[in-house]
Amino acid sequence: MELFIARQPIFDIQKNVVAYELLFRSPGAVTATHTDDTAATRAVLSNAFLMMGIDSLTDGKKAFVNFDGATLLDQVPRLLPAAILIVEILETVEPTQEVINACVLLKKAGYTLALDDFEPAEAQVPLILLADIIKVDFRNPNSLQGRRFAERLTPGRIRYLAEKVETEAEFRQALADGYTLFQGYFFSRPAILSQKSIPVNHMHYLQLLNQLYTADFDVERFEQLIKRDLSLSLQFLKYINSAFFGFRVPVQSIRHAAALLGQQGLAKWISLVALRNLAQEQPPELLRTAVVRARFSELLIQHRPHPGIPQDHFFLVGLFSLLEAFLQKPLADVLEQLPLARSVKDALAGRPNPLRQVLDLVIAYEQGNWEQVLALGEALQLPHEAIVNAYFDALLWEKEFIAMSNV
């Protein structure tokens, strides 16, 4: 069974990622049904976990996976270790005595149980008494009422996860309300939009980018700019000598390294380093998301190259798609100071063009908006297998890059 599989981060109160929820859907299933849920869950466990590898999906963190009544009754969660899996019980599960008995067996085996999209109902009481985590739709009044209902039954025992938290203000409100787990894209939205100027310590990177994106690129000029910053020079030489490239003979000069990478390779590296430095005061997941978007975009377009648009432009659009959050400034003000091609700026600003179309597909996949993924994939003539493989390859590439950049 073919599947779209993506992940969505779950944060603690310090905005550290402590788990990922795995989102999945068969391309042939436009709407979810009981049969689809059962088949999709089994396929995720057999394909994604056993064949693709859990580490590439969750980076060694816990995984929330949805289970319906049939998979609970069949004890399908036991296919994975209790140390890795959090059993997320769908809201569609009817709490029959057989289901309750199945959940009791999972609890005795050490599994963590979470209730998804929880709303108050007396019939849910047996599941509430077994649950370790309850997910609350932060924008749904009925779900918020469900939390109060559960708290009266089990005061202080259950951890509450606020989902669909989309802004920094909502995160702060959920934190004040006693939630300890958070899910949503609040980490990718700017909290404060401040003055137009970019800090002086970041302007050096813009000078490098400006040099790299000129038609008359000069390696000697680039070398002089790099040498102004000892830390950047050391990072550059570590990068070129890392296992990322695997050169047999050590590269000892910046000019030699620049010649080996070429103009496009240098632009990619400087862009990545610039964002990594900008991300120091932001949740680490922000940089990871930007790097995955960049590589995902680049890999997608390799299947269907677009005439007249350099491949590295797709990489840059994905990488810079979260600039507002990195800089905490309005995107329009940031773009004024970046030496990027007009088509790249248009795509980042949301104006329709081929670059934006690929970015829209990447974001839709990231968020598990499978209907939009299917529509955009068809428009771009990208087969399902190519999209899924590109996503997993991007996750692996991001992991290698982050490890390399922390050397």
* pTM of this structure: 0.86
Give me the pLDDT at residue 307, please.
Answer: 82
Least confident of 73-87, 123-137, 215-229: 215-229
Residue 34 has what pLDDT? 42
Portions of the chain given CATH number 3.20.20.450: 4-188
Q: Is the dihedral of CA 244, 248, 252, 255 positive or negative?
A: negative
Strand, coil or helix: 291: helix
Query: CATH 1.10.3210.10 residue ranges in the chain?
Result: 200-405
75-124 pLDDT, tens digit per residue, is 989 988 899 899 999 888 999 999 999 999 999 999 999 999 777 778 88
3-class SS of residue 43: helix
Tokens of 113: 């149980």
Which of 257, 255, 251, 263 is CA-nearest to residue 208? 263
Q: What is the rounded average pLDDT of the residues 243-261? A: 78
Work out the percent of the chain whose per-residue pLDDT is above 90: 39
What pLDDT, on the 0 to 100 scale, is given for residue 192? 60
User: CA distances (Å), 105 to each of 46, 214, 271, 274, 390, in order?
Assistant: 22, 64, 51, 50, 38
Q: Other CB atoms closer than 10 Å to residue 16's CB: what's the count? A: 12
Q: What is the mean pLDDT of the chain?
A: 84
* Strand pairing report for 17-25 and 62-67: parallel
| Beta pairing, strands 4-11 & 181-183 | antiparallel
Say what the pLDDT of residue 89 is. 94
DSSP state of 10: E
Does 218 have pLDDT greater than 80? no
- 291 within 8 A of 278, measured Cβ to Cβ: no
Average pLDDT of the segment spanning 363-378: 94
| CB-based contacts of 378-385 (< 8 A; 24+ apart in sequence) | 380/300, 380/304, 381/304, 382/300, 382/303, 382/304, 383/303, 384/2, 384/4, 384/27, 385/2
Paired tokens of 48: 């994604």
The predicted pLDDT at position 32 comes to: 44
State which fold the 4-188 domain adopts. TIM Barrel (3.20.20)
Instruction: Answer yes or no: are the C-beta atoms of 279 and 287 closer than 8 Å.
Output: yes
Per-residue model confidence as pLDDT tens digits over 170-186: 999 999 999 999 999 99
Residue 40 has a pLDDT of: 66
Q: Is the pLDDT of residue 380 over 50?
A: yes
**Structure tokens that stand for 297 in this block:** 């975009």
Gyration radius from the chain CA atoms = 23
Mean pLDDT within 223-236: 78
Looking at domain 200-405, its CATH architecture is: Orthogonal Bundle (1.10)
Mind listing the pLDDT tens digit for each residue in 45-77? 766 566 566 767 888 899 999 998 999 998 989
Residue 35: per-residue pLDDT: 47
Q: Give the per-residue pLDDT at 402.
A: 76
Distance from C-alpha of 163 to C-alpha of 185, rounded to nearest angstrom: 10
pLDDT at residue 29 is higher than 60: no
Asked whether the CA dihedral 152, 153, 158, 164 is positive or negative, the reply is: negative
Residue 349 burial by Cβ neighbours in a 10 Å radius (0-12, 13-18, 19+):
exposed
Task: Report percent pLDDT > 70 for the chain.
Answer: 85
Q: How confident is the model at residue 139 (pLDDT cuts 50, 70, 90)?
A: confident
d(C-alpha 383, C-alpha 364), whole Å: 16
Mean pLDDT of 291-316: 89
Instruction: Write the DSSP assignment of 232-283 as a string of letters.
Output: HHHHHHHHHTSTTT--SSPP--HHHHHHHHHHHHHHHHHHHHHHHHHGGGS-
Give me the long-range contacts of 231-238 (CB less than 8 A, separation at least 24).
232/204, 232/273, 235/273, 235/405, 236/269, 238/404, 238/407
Query: What is the reported pLDDT for 163?
Result: 93
Which of 12 and 213 is assigned the larger pLDDT? 12
